[in-house]
Amino acid sequence: MKSDIFQRASFPCPVCTGNAKIRESEALSHTTRRLKYLCLDVECGHTWVAHLTYVSTLSPSALGPVHPMGPRKRPPPEPLTNPLIRPLTETRKPAA
Ligand SMILES: [Zn+2]
């Protein structure tokens, strides 16, 4: 299923300036996607390819800068420290 952000990536038809819809989206890298558009004007019907590419940062991420080799991996969640909360895998003692 396509995400809404790609369905909303507006790009008017370069032939007739009509509204267009993204038909396919393919990741070329973690910073570039290849998008196939279809003009929604039935008298036009133009299809074309466009690239959506990260260019620069406007506000830095709290996780660090964009890395050219790939996205940052998030650290695993912290283990539970509350003694009242036990993991589901912990076995229970049978009731006496
Ligand atoms: Zn068109």
Residues with CB under 5 Å of ion ligand 1 are 13, 15-16, 18, 39, 41, 44, 46
Residue-level pLDDT at 94:
65
The band of 91, judged by pLDDT with boundaries at 50, 70 and 90, is low
- Tell me the mean pLDDT in the region 9-32: 94
pLDDT in tens, 50-72: 999 999 999 998 888 888 888 87
What 36-43 contacts at long range (C-beta under 8 Å, 24+ apart), as own/partner pairs, is: 37/11, 37/13, 39/13, 39/15, 41/13, 41/16, 43/16
Q: Rounded mean pLDDT of 7-36?
A: 92
Q: Decide yes or no: CATH 3.40.50 for domain 4-53.
A: no
Residue 19 Cα to ligand 1 midpoint, Å, equals: 7
Domain positions in the chain are 4-53
Flag whether pLDDT at 1 surpasses 50.
no
* pLDDT score, position 50: 96
